[in-house]
Amino acid sequence: MKSRVTRREFFRAGIFTVLGTAGAATLAQLGLKKPARAAVLAHEGEHAGAMPSTVGEVDHVRNGFDPTDILTDFDYGTVSTLPDGQTLREYSLVATDKTIEVAPGIDFPAWVYNGRIPGPTLRCVEGDRIRVHFFNASSHPHTIHFHGIHPFEVDGVPGAGPGVIPTGESFTYEFDAEPFGLHLYHCHVFPLARHIAKGLYGTFIVDPQGGWPPVDHEYVMVMNGIDVDFDDENDFYAVNTIPFHYQLHPIPIKVGETVRIFLVNLLEFDPINSFHLHANFFHYYPTGTSLEPSEYTDTIMQAQAQRGILEFAYKYPGLFMFHAHKTEFAELGWTGNFEVTVAEGAGDGHAE
Amino acid sequence: MATQSESKPGVRPSKGVRPTQGARSFSVGTAVLLILPLVLLGGIIALFLTTGGGLQLASPVPVEALTVERTVMAPGTIEIAVRNGGPEPLTIAQVIINDAVWPMDVVPRRTIPRLGRATVRLDYEWVEGEAYAIRLLTGNAIAFDVEIPVAFTTPTPTGRTFLSFTLIGLYVGVIPIYLGILWFPALRALERRWMVFLLALTVGLLLFLGVDTVVEALEQAASVPAPFQAIGLVAIGATATFVLLMAITRRQQAIGRDEADRRLALAYMIAAGIGLHNLGEGLAIGAAYNLGEIALGAFLVVGFIIQNITEGLGIIAPVLRDRPSLRNLALMGLIGGVPAVVGAWIGGFAPSATLSVLFFGIGTGAIFEVAYEIAGMLRKDMAKESMPLVIFAGVFAGMVLLWVTGMLIK
């Protein structure tokens, strides 16, 4: 009986979506300005039992970060100009031990940069001078290892420059930002898998001179996993740490708006991750090191530390999923939604 | 007291002999001395609970224990009854089924107090015959796994399944015992040494069943929450039953019943001991059927009938030289066999590992006590005519008989 009701609700939600595609004018007349919201309610409301989901909501305030904010939280550093005219960007990263509620009700003893997983998204322009002031306030030794082109002394591995940074000590990693593209940073103290899996990583974006073509939205998505019981297997998967976050809180965009996603794979233990976008195709720029896309597709895969830039726009309104197409990961948390609505102007214009 | 009356059957101590010193010395002073240690103990406990007694030994790692007591599957739902066997309250935070995080409800609530029970409910369209691995994750990120090797709808107490479990109990317990009792007229015609052989055979059967019951108890003990101390339950059940039955036997002797009455009483006790064993067997079968671990095929049922027919033999062995009424024989058959039916009901519809372990413990005590009584009876027979080889052959044959027939059901 119950499953039948669920199915009916699902079909009803589907009908709203179809209505949405039929035209904004009809919907405006019916007073249904947000067709996708109806679908959201059907998915996430009383009949959420039909699909995988965590129970409850993570306390983002106690965690100190919200995955929704992480999407668009770019750290451009403190900017100044060096005597020779080169732009200097200074960043401050502090490693700490911190308990993070990684899934509702489940605390995880994490290691974090600046109190969050993933760490801050450092963004600069190709050729900038980068100074990252690192202070280790964690009870274990850590480093920061950047992907990019830089001297050996600042490679952030044991034996390079100061080597590992012990508890209570600091070091400044200084180098020129190159090449342009989408990169990452992470702790490189051994055992490496543990130091990464516990949360010491983040995104490092080097914009090309003159920047990328303008878009309406830029989002950072770090694909990761959480091994809550330390058996070297992930128990939950996510983008930006919290499983199912963007399923519970869909990312709102408008029909026709251009979207750029900086997608980084920092999943430990599992060799391959993937990204699939529903009802759409995207241009893919592997590692972001070229302004020409390599592929027009709806699914890409990334091994550990692989990353790339996705660009797309939605043609139709609706509630569209994005998830790992390794469905095990999807059902263990790596699932989200874009809530695509018709731009206000378009609807109003037609209604008049 | 017991030894006193045993040496002088029928004679009770007169009132004048009753010692009176105890009553005289019990005064207010004695009462205070009795209560004082308890008051001090209360004080120490209060001090400890309020101050911690100066110990700085808080466990750095949360120790959690969760026992899965029962899994109930109905179309579209899975319910898992769990008990918190750890030292602290425990919270079930998330549930993963076959590598998918799944919405769930916990009744009465997600935080389970120490020794408390809760039921985790999943709305999940499971498929008949497939396997499921369910992982319960606590708030401390400790995982407890529940395996469902073969999924099928858990039998509910409908008339039909009730009848099925009744039939299982009848096949396994009642029918074979009555078949064994049917040998009574033929065996009565046997000469004396063969009757001694049969008694010795019964001792062998009982020893084997006793060991078997202990092993069953210890196996079940693994799935009992730690605070319920399964091994302790087995020891209590076995010892208490053994001593209680011994006391009852001595009491009967003290009342001065004749030899025939005592042999009949012994036969009843064998029936009761075997009945307790069959209760445990029924529990195990019912529970195993629920878990899908057992295919109750014809072969297995035949095996149980063959093995348990020897139990009927054991019941009648002590009374072969007497003339027990048909009513007595029928009643002994019921006592020995019907508990298998009751066990199958309990095991099938409300299995509890703790209860099973207790029953197995009681069965162990009963079986060994009865073997001990028959041994006493044999010793008396031996006083009249020594036949040690007959006794050896009987005990040995009894044990081997159960070992061989056991191959049919293991």
Q: Are A117 and A224 in contact (CB under 8 A)?
A: yes
Q: Are B112 and B92 in contact (CB under 8 A)?
A: yes
Which one is predicted more confidently, A296 or B344?
A: A296
Q: Quick one: pLDDT band at residue B382, thresholds 50, 70, 90? A: confident
* A6 to chain B: closest CA residue: B123
Question: What does the pLDDT read at residue A127?
Answer: 96
Q: For residue B231, give every residue at least 6 positions away whose Cβ sits within 8 Å of its Cβ, in sequence order, or none.
A: B218, B221
Q: Look up the ipTM and state it.
A: 0.75
Residue ranges of chain A with per-residue pLDDT less than 50: 1-49, 347-352
Mean confidence (pLDDT) of chain B: 81
Beta bridge partners of A142: A165
- Residue among A49, A50, A236 whose CB faces B101 most closely: A236
Q: Are A269 and A332 in contact (CB under 8 A)?
A: no
Lowest mean pLDDT among B58-67, B198-207, B274-283: B58-67
B333, pLDDT greater than 80 = yes
Q: Are B374 and B381 in contact (CB under 8 A)?
A: no
Question: What does the pLDDT read at residue A47?
Answer: 47
How many CA atoms are closer than 13 Å to the CA of A110, on its beta-carbon side?
29
> From the centroid of its chain, how far is CA A126?
22
Between chains, do B143 and A235 touch, taking CB under 8 Å as contact? yes
Lowest mean pLDDT among B60-64, B139-143, B369-373: B60-64
Question: What does the pLDDT read at residue A8?
Answer: 35
Among B residues 94-153, those touching chain A with beta carbons less than 8 Å apart: 94-96, 99-104, 110, 123, 125, 135, 137-143
Name the percent of chain B lying above pLDDT 90: 17
Q: Quick one: pLDDT band at residue B352, thresholds 50, 70, 90? A: confident
Question: What does the pLDDT read at residue A18?
Answer: 36
Question: What does the pLDDT read at residue B241?
Answer: 87
B138, pLDDT greater than 80 = yes
- CA atoms A15, A20, A24, A28: torsion sign: positive
> B94 is written with which tokens?
């998330």
Q: Quick one: pLDDT band at residue B5, thresholds 50, 70, 90? A: very low
- CA atoms B256, B260, B265, B269: torsion sign: positive
Beta bridge partners of B102: B95
pTM of the model: 0.71
Query: How far is A134 from chain B, CA to nearest CA, in Å?
Result: 30
* A243 to chain B: closest CA residue: B101
Question: What does the pLDDT read at residue A260?
Answer: 98
Between chains, do B123 and A49 touch, taking CB under 8 Å as contact? yes
Query: How far is B235 from chain A, CA to nearest CA, in Å?
Result: 37
Q: Does A104 contact B at CB distance below 8 Å?
A: yes
Instruction: From B72, B96, B67, B95, select the one nearest B148 (Cα to Cα).
Output: B72
Looking at residues B112-131, what average pLDDT do you find? 91
Task: Give A-chain residues touching B104 at CB under 8 angstroms.
Answer: 55
Q: How far apart are CA B105 and CA B110, in angstroms?
A: 8
In this structure, what DSSP letter does residue A153 have?
G
Between chains, do A52 and B102 touch, taking CB under 8 Å as contact? yes
Question: What does the pLDDT read at residue A305?
Answer: 96
Question: What does the pLDDT read at residue B167?
Answer: 86
Q: For residue A215, give every residue at least 6 positions away whose Cβ sits within 8 Å of its Cβ, in sequence order, or none.
A: A258, A259, A260, A311
* A333 to chain B: closest CA residue: B101
Task: Tell me whether residue A270 is exposed, middle or buried, using C-beta atoms within 10 angstroms of its C-beta: 0 to 12, 13 to 18, 19 or more.
Answer: middle
Between chains, do A105 and B99 touch, taking CB under 8 Å as contact? no
∠ Cα A71 A74 A78 (to 5°): 165
Q: Quick one: pLDDT band at residue B343, thresholds 50, 70, 90? A: confident
Q: How far apart are CA B328 and CA B96, in angstroms?
A: 57
